[in-house]
Amino acid sequence: MIIIESYGVAVVMCVITMLCWGSWANTQKLASKEWRFQLFYWDYAIGVLLLGLLLAFTLGSTGEGGRSFMADLKQADSRWLVSAFVGGVIFNLSNILLVAAIDIAGMAVAFPVGVGLALVLGVVTTFLSTHEGNAPMLALGVAAIVVAILLDALAYKRLSRSDQKTPMKGIVISVAAGLLMGFFYKYVAQAMGKIDHVAGLAVLEPGKLSPYTAVVLFSLGLLLSNFLWNSIMMVKPFTGPPVRFGDYFKGSARLHLVGLLGGMIWNLGMSFSIIASTKAGAALSYGLGQGATMIGAFWGVFIWKEFKGAPAGTNKLLVAMFVFYLLGLAILIASKL
């Protein structure tokens, strides 16, 4: 399997993760013009698994270090397979809530509040699980991001007062999504084996998973749990009438491809984050990747114009939000130097 040996390369991969995680929701915004987000989400879940398998049978099965995907799968301890799978189940519920929040309140709100909260919890829980990283600097970076979340919530509150079509329900769902999303990553990270170097070759800890195998099990957990979580969301949606399952098969090829693309973009980010964590550490890799919050907010504010018509002074809150996010991310990066 391909193993990352350079911290600089690991950081670049985390930045790509940030871009992927912050941009995939644009596919939902495009699809939501024509059909409900619950229908989009079936294709998204399939796209996640397809990308995971593609990387497992290519990058995860080439190179001299570690183990190939199939060999790694055969030797894996069942508890670590279950751990990565559970990570996918937890993430899927949180992400469906996030998608619902985007549908109600937009990317500029759902990402800073939901994903920002997930970043804070994810860094803390992953650090406590793996004990990797500089604790004081991680805490300082997280604190700056908490300030950014609060600033975005204040901006959203001003918007909701001026536009009654944007209810506070969106921020409540975003918080619920963030609380759940902050816990999924540690289950995937703890399932992965440490990499040692013996006679010039990278050797993976026996019984545990390679990053590529962990992503595949995570993706399976996401897709299979979709039959539970998304089915509930179709029968009991937060807004609008129930969604009929038969409507999925009425979607055009373009709509299905948009959903698949969204899932593949997101999982490219997840895969790079997991692969990079072997060098950068799980807490930093997750925290930096969740800088997607800033990217998602950028799309929402500047491209989709979700704060258009907000009261005077709202832009200052949004600028301050971006500043604190950038400061927090910079501190997270420096924590490993």
**Mean pLDDT lowest among 112-116, 142-146, 311-315:** 112-116
Query: What share of the chain has pLDDT > 70, as a percent?
Result: 96
Q: Dihedral of CA 314/317/323/324: which sign?
A: negative
Closest CA to 222 of 101, 104, 47: 47
Looking only at the bridges linking them, the beta strands covering 195-198 and 201-204 are antiparallel
Q: What is the pLDDT of residue 116?
A: 78
Most confident range (mean pLDDT) of 84-93, 277-286, 288-297 is: 84-93
Mean pLDDT, the chain, as a whole number? 88
The 10s digit of each residue's pLDDT in 225-244 is 999 999 999 999 998 899 99
pLDDT above 70 for 337: no
What percent of the chain has a predicted confidence (pLDDT) above 90? 48
Cα separation, 247 vs 199, whole angstroms: 57
pLDDT at site 160: 57
Longest distance between any two alpha carbons in the chain, whole Å: 66
On whether the CB atoms of residues 240 and 247 are closer than 8 A, the answer is no
pLDDT band of residue 164 (cuts 50, 70, 90) is very low
Determine the Cα–Cα distance for residues 5 and 13; give it in Å rounded to an integer. Answer: 12
Measured between alpha carbons, how far is 194 from 200 in angstroms, rounded to an integer?
16
Q: What stretches of the chain adopt beta strand conformation (E)?
A: 195-198, 201-204
What pLDDT, on a 0 to 100 scale, did the predictor assign at position 205? Answer: 92
Task: Give me the amino acid identity at 223.
Answer: L
pLDDT of residue 128: 84
Angle at 9 between CA 210 and CA 286, to 5 degrees: 60
What is the model's pLDDT at position 29? 85
Average pLDDT over residues 284-309: 80
Q: Containing H/E element for 198?
A: strand 195-198
- Is it the case that residue 167 has pLDDT exceeding 60? no
Q: Which amino acid is at 93?
A: L
- pLDDT confidence of residue 301: 82
Which residues, other chains included, contact 305 with Cβ-Cβ below 8 Å and sequence gap of 6+? Answer: none
Residue 166 has pLDDT above 50, yes or no: no
pLDDT of residue 75 exceeding 90, the answer is: yes
Helix, strand, or coil here: 266? helix
> In the prediction, which pLDDT does 146 show?
82
Q: Cβ contacts of residue 134 below 8 Å, gap of 6+?
A: 335, 336
pLDDT band at 148 (very low <50, low <70, confident <90, very high): confident
Residue 20 corresponds to which tokens in the numbers above? 């992927």
Quick check: 272 pLDDT over 90?
yes
pTM of the model: 0.84
Out of 17-26, 114-123, 200-209, pick the least confident. Answer: 114-123
For range 302-317, the mean pLDDT:
83
Q: State the average pLDDT over residues 119-141.
A: 83
| Cβ burial 82-112 (10 Å sphere, 16+ → b, else e) | ebbbbbbbbbbbbbbbbbbbbbbbbbbbbbb
Only one residue has tokens 């497992």, namely 56
